[in-house]
Amino acid sequence: MDTMQKSELGFGNTGGSMSNMPSSSLKGKLAAMEEEIKRICNEINLHKKEVEDLRTEKAALEQILQMKTQDVRKTITNEIIRVEEEMKKNFTQQKSENARLQQQIVQLKNEKTELQQTLLGKFRAEMVALQRRIAELEVMVGSEDIH
């Protein structure tokens, strides 16, 4: 046996629980080894229980994580659906508003054209009237010059 095994079993000078027992008798050494084996078995059983507890905890945490992941996915999916519906509604409203504004623009352009034509017509009529008045005044001025 190497030094490590001897010390673990209580055969070395470093001693575990067997250092307290007299190492001269074979029965004492055997009893000490049995005691050490029981202690090691108890430790192994404790470690097995700890591993099992950790596995159970891991499984529970994985289940919680899976439920939270599903919850987050569901929340995000619902939010996406809500946002898409809101965008569709806003798009429809914007489209209606654009059509209404376009109709107003066309109407204003038509009114502008009518006003320009009306003003142009009035301007022409006034020009003709002014030219006639100028002609009349010239005739009057011309007839006064003769007298």
Radius of gyration (C-alpha) of the chain in whole angstroms: 55
Residues contacting residue 32 through CB under 8 Å, at least 6 positions apart: 10, 17, 18, 21, 23
Each residue's pLDDT tens digit, 76-92:
999 999 999 999 999 99
Percentages (nearest 5) of helix, strand, coil residues in the chain: 90, 0, 10
- Give the CB-side neighbour count of residue 113, counting CA atoms within 13 A: 6
CA–CA gap between residue 94 and residue 100 (Å, rounded): 10
Q: pTM score > 0.95 for this model? A: no
CA-based angle 43:49:53, to the nearest 5?
145
Per-residue pLDDT of the chain (147 residues; tens, 9 = 90+): 344 444 444 444 444 444 454 456 999 999 999 999 999 999 999 999 999 999 999 999 999 999 999 999 999 999 999 999 999 999 999 999 999 999 999 999 999 999 999 888 888 888 898 899 999 888 888 776 655
CA–CA gap between residue 123 and residue 15 (Å, rounded): 126
- Which residue in 38, 5, 33, 4 sits closest to 21, CA to CA? 33
Torsion angle defined by CA atoms of residues 145, 137, 131 and 123, in that order, rounded to the nearest 10 degrees: 150
CA–CA gap between residue 83 and residue 89 (Å, rounded): 10
Q: Contact at 8 Å (CB) between 22 and 28?
A: yes
